[in-house]
Amino acid sequence: MSGKRSNVALLTEGADYIKRAKKARQDQVEEIKFDDEARREWLTGFSKRKKQRTDERRTRAKKRDHEAHLEERRKARKELKDRAEQNVRDVRAALGLAPLEEEGDDDGSDDDEAGPSGKIEEEEYSDDEQLATVTIEEDFDPSSTRTTRNYGSDSEDDDDEEAAAAKKKKAAAAAVPLLPASSKRAEQRAKRDKEKAKEAKDLAKKKERKSTSMETPAEKRRAKEHEARKRAKRADKEKAQAEKYGVTLVRRKSGGGGKKTGARSSSAKSGNKGGGKTRHKGKANHK
């Protein structure tokens, strides 16, 4: 068993291995090793490495596009939300109602004037591209927006007040135009409803026109003339067939009062050589 080694020997033990390896490399004869597998891997790896780089770039581009899409959707949602809030404010201003912020600060001080305060609910419906905010106000009192008349004043003052109120109402209606829908879905729904209403109106007009239409005397006269022409044409056709086959048409009255047409053949064309019975192609009319 060897003795205890010093720290210097332990720390410099690697130097001996390095010296021996260096000496072995110096004494070694230089040679070139040819590895077919490594060569084949390097030569056939161009397309593989290029495809790998392409896949990495495509992955980074997809990630970048996804992040940009998320950012655009966040911006679109924010814009739609701001637009819906602005629409609510414009509608309330057009109806003469107080803004939502002021209603919360009044704490019911104007309950007698404004009437019953409604409950306001807001709901948001969103998809990948759009955000729609629906505001619902319950128990709306339209009487709060009406102007009251002062019956204690003179008639002239009342007329002036009514004229001023009418002018103010017209100015408010002209100042606030028809507000656009807060989402494309609402616009499409409104368009479909408008088309359905138009179709229903057209259908009602057609039904009314059909129900109210009556046959005029001139139309009745033309119908009778048409029927007479048809009967005359049918009679001419029967007469032509009778002449073709040598049959004489005789009209007689039946027992029921109707007219029937009989057929009688001429003796010259239908006579028998032996003086026998005469054969008729049509029905014989015996008197």
- The mean pLDDT of 21-41, rounded to a whole number, is 82
Residue 59 located in a structural domain: yes
SS3 at position 212: helix
What is the extent of the structural domain holding 60?
50-100+117-141
At residue 122, φ and ψ (nearest 5 deg) are: -125, 130
Residue 183, classified by CB atoms within 10 Å of its CB into exposed (0-12), middle (13-18) or buried (19+), is buried
Q: Is 163 inside a domain boundary? A: no
Nearest to 246 by CA among 278, 277, 273, 274: 278
Per the prediction, the chain carries an average pLDDT of 73
Q: Could you tell me whether strands 247-253 and 131-137 are parallel, antiparallel, or unpaired per DSSP bridges?
A: unpaired
pTM assigned to the model = 0.25
Please indicate, yes or no, if residue 130 is contained in any of the structural domains: yes
What was the pLDDT predicted at 101? Answer: 67
Structural domain count, the chain: 1
Domain membership of residue 215 (yes or no) is: no
Q: What is the pLDDT of residues 78-107, one digit of tens each?
A: 999 999 999 999 998 888 888 776 544 554
Cβ(238)–Cβ(261) under 8 Å?
A: yes
Signed CA dihedral, 40, 44, 46, 50: sign only: negative
DSSP label of 284: -
Predicted local distance difference test score (pLDDT) of residue 87? 92
Within-domain flag for 96: yes
| Arithmetic mean of pLDDT, 5-32 | 82
SS3 97: coil
Confirm whether 127 is domain-assigned.
yes
Dist. CA 138–CA 121, nearest whole Å: 8
pLDDT tens digits, residue range 171-206? 655 544 444 545 677 788 888 999 999 999 888 888
**Is 79 inside any structural domain?**
yes
Query: Is there a contact between 227 and 234 (Cβ–Cβ < 8 Å)?
Result: no
Helix, strand, coil shares of the chain, percent, nearest 5, are: 60, 10, 30
Element (H, E) at 274: none
Has residue 54 been placed in a domain? yes
